[in-house]
Amino acid sequence: MFLKRLKDCREFTAGDGSILRELLHPEKADLQIRYSLACAKVAAGQKTKPHKLKSCEVYYITAGSGLMHIDEESLEVGPECAIYIPPGARQYIENIGDSDLEFLCIVDPAWREEDEEIFGMV
């Protein structure tokens, strides 16, 4: 059995500016999975840098409120929203609330630095 607690995951600033804690990654544990799973946080009034991945990604919002931007579309999001981000789509999320915006990030196949392109701020 494999168990990893969020509180035991190292917190770091990702390339897009979000605060991340990586829970699962097939290259960092002996797991037979294709995807990676991380928990992200964006502070009130902040937004991530626009970026795109070669992989598809899903955000699942657990707390706060935000505005999700994917290519030319934007939608308000909040707790219990799942957002699919296609491979190669330009994306960023902004926190439009007064508390932290928190969400899970699932990347399939698993996130790799060389598969991500970061753009300047909007």
pLDDT, tens digit, for every residue of 65-115?
999 999 999 999 999 999 999 999 999 999 999 999 999 999 999 999 999
Residue 13, both tokens:
């600033």
Rounded to two decimals, what is the model's pTM?
Answer: 0.94
Amino acid at 65: S
Give CA–CA dist 57/7, Å, rounded: 23
> Which residue is listed with tokens 């829970």?
23
Decide: 15 and 49 in contact? Cβ < 8 Å. Answer: yes
d(C-alpha 121, C-alpha 23), whole Å: 27
